[in-house]
Amino acid sequence: MSTQASVAVKPSGLQRAVRFVLPFMVFVAGLAVWELVVRVREIPPYVLPAPSVIFLTLIRDWVVLAESLATTLLTTLEGFAAASIGGIALALLFNQSKWVEYSLFPYAVVLQVTPVIAIAPLLLIYLEQQTAVVVCAFIVAFFPVLSNTTLGLNSVDRNLAGLFQLYGASPQQTLRFLKLPAALPYILGGLRIAGGLSLIGAVVAEIAAGTAGAGSGLAYRIAESGYRLNIPRMFAALLLLSLAGIVIYGVLALISHLVLRRWHESALGKEN
């Protein structure tokens, strides 16, 4: 690693290109092998569709799939927003009062460790379907936000806290000018995890809900296509879900980088 770094003084641009080109080549090679195997052995599409068939299905069924994608993304977004606001708010509450923290934290852990797939059917009984799905996404995603924000709020430099005390800062000032900025890298790390998790939560809930009634998310499409042996559409929906996850992660990572790039170690290049 160190020798590589010393060699790569100049061609860092090349190295960066290689980092994108190599996985892409693996992807293309994998697709080519897949396509070849399916064609040569004449595997029927309901067993294993070729990549070309999946791609064609994606285009042919685009209207249906796009609608489902929008539904799933909306659920994910709502769950993510609820998890972010709820997680940060709860962490702030914990930070204000140890009593509240001691009283409530175990339940946050219980919610986190209970598999959401087991909670989802119950939620679907008591809540309206769309609400239940959003709640599932929230349950899965809020814990990393909560625990990371708590960690961040507790990681404030002791001397800086002393300085704020010395100058008679009010609790609001300490929160706004010291605790929240200090916790920001941790909060953004929590949000990055929560983004992917809220998609998982939404998908799990959709699958649970899909069997119970009318749903139109991507996960529901996968389940529905499975019953109808429409395997190419299953793959197409899966592809969209995967892309959605990548985009969500990418956007959050970008936001994190833009916010922290001027000061935090995590966002600085290795050369600095």
| 64 neighbors 213 (Cβ within 8 angstroms) | no
Residues 42, 166, 227, 271: which binds another protein (CB under 8 A)? Answer: 166
Neighbours of 46 (CB within 10 A): 11
Residues 127, 175, 182, 207: which binds another protein (CB under 8 A)? Answer: 182
d(CA 268, CA 43): 49
Binding mask 98-137 for another protein (x = CB under 8 A): ----------------------------------------
Applying CB under 8 A, does 143 fall inside the site for another protein?
no
Applying CB under 8 A, does 184 fall inside the site for another protein?
yes
Phi-psi region of 154 (alpha: psi -120 to 50; beta: other; left: phi over 0): alpha
Phi-psi region of 156 (alpha: psi -120 to 50; beta: other; left: phi over 0): beta
d(CA 256, CA 194): 13
Applying CB under 8 A, does 74 fall inside the site for another protein?
no
Applying CB under 8 A, does 164 fall inside the site for another protein?
yes
Applying CB under 8 A, does 157 fall inside the site for another protein?
yes
Applying CB under 8 A, does 258 fall inside the site for another protein?
no
Residues 168, 213, 269, 271: which binds another protein (CB under 8 A)? Answer: 168
Query: Residues 27, 28, 33, 38: is their CA dihedral positive or negative?
Result: positive
Applying CB under 8 A, does 257 fall inside the site for another protein?
no
Applying CB under 8 A, does 85 fall inside the site for another protein?
no
Contact range with another protein by CB under 8 A, out of 56-64, 84-92, 174-182, 198-206? 174-182
What is the four-CA torsion angle of 193, 196, 201, 206, rounded to 10 degrees?
170
d(CA 39, CA 83): 46
Applying CB under 8 A, does 13 fall inside the site for another protein?
no
Minimum separation from the CB atom of position 185 to another protein (A): 9
Applying CB under 8 A, does 159 fall inside the site for another protein?
yes
Applying CB under 8 A, does 160 fall inside the site for another protein?
yes
What is the four-CA torsion angle of 48, 76, 210, 56, rounded to 10 degrees?
-30
CA distances from 163 to 150, 151, 178, 183 (A): 21, 21, 10, 17
Please give the residue ranges that form the binding site for another protein (CB under 8 A). Answer: 157, 159-160, 162-169, 173, 177-178, 181-182, 184, 262-264, 268
